[in-house]
Amino acid sequence: MKTRAAVAWKAGEKLSIEEVDLAGPKAGEVLVEIKATGVCHTDAYTLSGADPEGLFPAILGHEGAGIVREIGAGVTSVAVGDHVIPLYTPECRQCKSCLSGKTNLCTAIRATQGKGVMPDGSSRFSIGGKPVLHYMGCSTFANHTVLPEIALAKIRPDAPFDKVCYIGCGVTTGVGAVINTAKVEPGSTVAVFGLGGIGLNVVQAARMVGADKIIGIDLNPARETMARKFGMTDFVNPDVVGRDKVVQAIQDLTDGGVDYSFECIGNVQVMRQALECGHRGWGMSVIIGVAASGQEIQTRPFQLVTGRVWTGSAFGGAKGRRDVPKIVDWYMQGKIAIDPLITHVLPHAQVNDAFDLMHKGESIRTVLTY
C-alpha cells in the first residue's frame, strides 16, 4: 500500500513528507494506522546525528497510538480494529530478560530494531524501490507502519489517540522511573533535573506516590509554573543560583541531600550533579536522559563508597504489553494528567515545526495528528 510519512533523509536535515510504499505484515507482524504521535527529545537526538544507532534514510517517531488494520499469519494477541500503542521496548515474554523478572529490556528483536529493520532483516518501507529504515521499531511519523505483534500494547477503545499516544514514551518513562525503577516511598525528597516532557511526568508520579519535597531544576524559567501545578514544591534555576552551586542549593533545601534524583536532560555534567545531590548513605540517582555517542559520566568513587547509588531507566522499567494498558486506565480515571502537558497539536505535515518548538523551549509535548 501507499502511505504518507515524514522521512529523515540525512542527519541534521529537516524531515520531508513523502508518499512511501509499505509492504504488508509478514508472519507475526501487524499493520497499524497511526492516528497520533508525540515528538520526543529522542527523535531530535537521533535526527541530530549524535545517536550511534541513527541510520538514514529512516522514518522517525516512537510515541504513537493507532488502530490495527491488518494482521500477519499467526498473530493472536491483537485483531483488526483493536486500538494499540506501539512499544519501542517490546515484551516477548519468552527471552532471558523477559523471564528474569529483573528487567523490561526484552531482547527478542533488539538487534534488528537497532539496525532499522524488521526481525527478518528487511524494511517494510520503501520509496522508488529503495528501502527506507524503521526507527526504534515504531516509525510513528508514518501514517501506517508495521510492527511485530510483541511490540503492541492493546488499549481500551475509548481512550483518545491524541492524548494517550504520549503514554507510548514520555508518560510511561517518567511515571515508571519513579514507580518501577526508584520505587520512591511516601515522605521522600526528590530532585528532578529537566522539567520537559519526561521530567514533568517524574514530578507528577513523585507527587502521586506521596513524596514530601519535589525539587525541580531547569534553565528555562517558564517551566516553573507548570511544574508547580504537577507537584513541584521548590524550583532551582542553575542560572540563578550558579551552575556550580546546584548541588549545594539542593542540599540546603533537604538537610543534606535528596533520597532520589532523576536526570531527564541527557547532559553528563548534570548527571554528576544529580548523583552528588543525593543523601550520603542512600541517595539514589536515576539516569533517564540520553547522552550523545562519546559522552561519559564522571564522579569521585567516594560518592559511591559513601552509599549513593547510580542507576538508569529505559521506558520507565515498564513491561509494555502489561503496563501500558494500565497507565491508559490511570489517565482515563484521572489518576494522572496528560492534557496540560500537550501544549501543541499540529497536523502531521507540520512535523518540522514540532522540532522547532521543542528546540526553542516553547513546547512541552507536541502531538501530531493524521
Question: Which residues are part of the catalytic machinery?
Answer: 40-42, 62-63, 92, 95, 98, 106, 110, 169, 365
Report what 220 binds from Zn ion, ligand NAD, ligand AHE, none; CB cut-off 5-8 Å by kind. Answer: ligand NAD
| SS3 call for 135 | coil
Which of 369, 355, 341 lies closest to 175 in space, CA to CA?
341
Cβ nearer to ligand NAD, comparing 131 with 361: 361
Is the separation of the CB atoms in 110 and 314 below 8 Å? no
Is the backbone peptide bond immediately before 57 cis, with ω within 30 degrees of 0? yes
Pairwise CA distance, residues 364 & 44, whole Å: 14
Pairwise CA distance, residues 15 & 336, whole Å: 32
The binder of ligand AHE chosen from 44, 253, 268, 290 (CB under 6 A)? 290
Decide: is 89 part of the binding site for ligand AHE (CB under 6 A). yes
Is the separation of the CB atoms in 232 and 195 below 8 Å? yes
Report what 321 binds from ligand AHE, ligand NAD, Zn ion, none; CB cut-off 5-8 Å by kind. Answer: none
Residue 183 cell numbers, joined: 520505587
Report what 235 binds from ligand NAD, Zn ion, ligand AHE, none; CB cut-off 5-8 Å by kind. Answer: none
Residues 131-150 that bind ligand AHE (CB under 6 A): none
Pairwise CA distance, residues 36 & 338, whole Å: 14
Report what 194 binds from Zn ion, ligand NAD, ligand AHE, none; CB cut-off 5-8 Å by kind. Answer: ligand NAD
Cβ nearer to ligand AHE, comparing 25 with 116: 116
**Contact set with ligand NAD (CB under 6 A):** 40-42, 45, 169-170, 173, 193-199, 217-220, 223, 238, 264-267, 270, 288-290, 313-315, 358, 361
Smallest separation (angstroms) from ligand AHE to the CB of 114: 7
The binder of ligand AHE chosen from 52, 74, 187, 221 (CB under 6 A)? 52
What are the Cα distances from residue 209, in Å, to 105, 182, 189, 291, 301?
Answer: 24, 11, 11, 28, 31
Catalogue the E-assigned strands of 140-188.
144-148, 152-155
The binding site for Zn ion (CB under 5 A) comprises 40, 42, 169
